[in-house]
Amino acid sequence: MPDPRAPEPSRRPLPERRMGTAQWMTLIALSILWGGSFFFTEIALGELPVFTLVALRVMLAAAALHVVLRVLGVKMPCDKAVWTAFFAMGFLNNLVPFSLIVWGQTHIASGLASILNATTPLFTVLVAHAVTRDERLTSNRAFGVVTGFLGVVVLIGPSALNSLGTDGLAQLACLAAAFSYALAGVFGRRFRRMGVSPIATATGQVTASATMLVPLALLLDRPWTLAMPGADTIAAILGIALLSTALAYVLYFRLLATAGATNLLLVTFLIPVSAILLGALVLGEVLQPQHFAGMALIGVGLAAIDGRLWRQRERSSCV
């Protein structure tokens, strides 16, 4: 007779998801694409209001992805349940966080916004632990997430925290955006079970987002009353739509399907690293000791979450 105290098979934790070399490279590429979004946003906000910028971002991304689907011969799903999930994903992953972060950037420094955005993995490990069976919170993962977050603070500079609390609403908006990203990462796991490809999922999500955001922009910003933006702003819009949204979300959903939400959203630790390294390589900015210290802490955090160095050490100690 089976032991009634034994856990039901459906409740037993599944093996923890881990990332291979190709997935880590995809994560780095995604961090570069999303790191650029802060740069593009800073430029575009000089001439465009929040909802107009966000609506243009998802509308142009959706148009580009539909063209790619047509070229590849991939058909979009017509199932009502899938499109309901697309709209829920678009709300959690685009409409809410894009609007809150862009609005927050108009009130607080980008450094503090980046630190608040880096709380996304903290929220994700808690949400994933509560609702999934294969992304449970472990000691290595908890240590890695906390260490990675501290690395972001050191990398950007603790002085960015000096204004913490002075623009409370904007800071809460950035934290709410991070929490929304965490919910979206866990919610988006279902598309693989539904049999929807990453590129179709990316297209469906930004299409649903555009359907929701364009009417908001028309109602709140009345963009037809705005002056024609300059060449720099147009280039920034194209960059944020085609690179930081269309291409980035294809990588996002491909990685989410194989690596899970917690591993995927580690990208928020790497975004400041990408931004600082790009500044050094492209703009000739000088790297300071705090940058190296912050990157080292982030590296330790990512290594702890990855776990393979810890497992190798444990195996060698048993020999």
34-43, 90-99, 192-201: segment of lowest average pLDDT: 34-43
Q: 113: number of CA atoms within 13 Å, CB side?
A: 23
| Between residues 264 and 225, the one the model is more confident about | 225
**In the predicted model, is pLDDT for residue 150 greater than 70?**
yes
- The structural domains of the chain, with segments of one domain joined by +, span 20-311
Q: How is residue 66 written in tokens?
A: 């539909």
**Cα 201 to Cα 213: distance, rounded to the nearest angstrom:** 18
Instruction: Give me the helices (H) in the chain, please.
Output: 21-44, 50-72, 80-90, 96-105, 110-117, 120-131, 139-156, 168-187, 190-193, 198-220, 231-238, 248-259, 261-264, 267-282, 289-306, 308-318
**Cα 121 to Cα 67: distance, rounded to the nearest angstrom:** 33
| Between residues 159 and 101, the one the model is more confident about | 101
Nearest Cα to Cα of residue 51 among 180, 221, 169, 294? 221
**Cα 23 to Cα 264: distance, rounded to the nearest angstrom:** 9
Q: What is the mean pLDDT of the chain?
A: 83
Nearest Cα to Cα of residue 90 among 173, 197, 204, 177? 204
What is the pLDDT confidence band of residue 161, given thresholds at 50, 70 and 90?
A: low
Give the pLDDT mean for 220-241. 92
**Taking the mean position of all CA atoms in its chain, how far away is CA 77?**
24
**Cα 19 to Cα 258: distance, rounded to the nearest angstrom:** 8
Are 133 and 157 in contact by the 8 Å Cβ rule? The answer is no
- Rank 100-104, 169-173, 209-213 by mean pLDDT and report only the highest: 209-213
Cα 235 to Cα 43, 90, 217, 243, 247: the distances in Å are 9, 24, 20, 11, 16
- Tell me the pLDDT tens digit for each residue of 269-296: 888 887 777 767 766 667 788 888 888 8
DSSP code at position 228 = P
DSSP secondary structure of 232-281: HHHHHHHIIIIIIIIIHHHHHHHHHHHH-HHHHTTHHHHHHHHHHHHHHH
Q: 83: number of CA atoms within 13 Å, CB side?
A: 8
Whose tokens are 């039901």? That residue is: 8
| Between residues 6 and 23, the one the model is more confident about | 23
Residue-level pLDDT at 3: 47
**Cα 148 to Cα 143: distance, rounded to the nearest angstrom:** 8
DSSP secondary structure of 44-82: HTTTS-HHHHHHHHHHHHHHHHHHHHHHHTPPPP--HHH
Q: How is residue 247 written in tokens?
A: 């291409």
**Surface-to-core class of residue 240, CB atoms within 10 Å of its CB (0-12 exposed, 13-18 middle, 19+ buried):** buried
Q: What is the three-class DSSP state of 216? A: helix
Instruction: Specify the amino acid at residue 142.
Output: A
Q: Which residues, other chains included, contact 29 with Cβ-Cβ below 8 Å and sequence gap of 6+?
A: 251
34-38, 126-130, 210-214: segment of lowest average pLDDT: 34-38
